[in-house]
Amino acid sequence: MERQAALHRERPITASFVVSESLLIDRIGGAAAHTAQLLHLRRCADLPGFSLQALPLSRETHAGLGGPFVLLETPEHEGWGYTETQRGSHL
């Protein structure tokens, strides 16, 4: 909950998320929990600097198959990517 407060600052952070479509379909926790989660994501989508994209189930490949990664942007608009694997980390 503390991390979510960053989305509501006077100058909110910029956050972009890509989630699998299956996460939006599965009803783990029951119908009420599923509905509450979708409503929460919908409210977040209206926040400035917040971006949520769904990766379709029909995809056969995507950039995250090698593991999780973080995309960063400097104040000078330079783009960086960061990954951690069992063999080390890469920027």
pLDDT tens, residue by residue, 67-80: 788 888 888 989 89
* pTM score: 0.66
Structural domain of residue 44, as residue ranges? 1-60
pLDDT, mean over the chain: 88
With bands split at pLDDT 50, 70 and 90, how would you rate the model's confidence at 46?
very high
Note whether 54 and 16 are within 8 A (CB): no
More confident residue, 2 or 39: 39
Same domain, 70 and 84: yes
Token pair belonging to 27: 């009803």
Same domain, 67 and 90: yes
% pLDDT > 70, the chain: 100
| Structural domain count, the chain | 2
How far is 44 from 40, CA to CA, in rounded Å? 6
- When pLDDT is averaged across residues 52-74 and rounded to a whole number, the result is 85
pLDDT at position 6 is 86
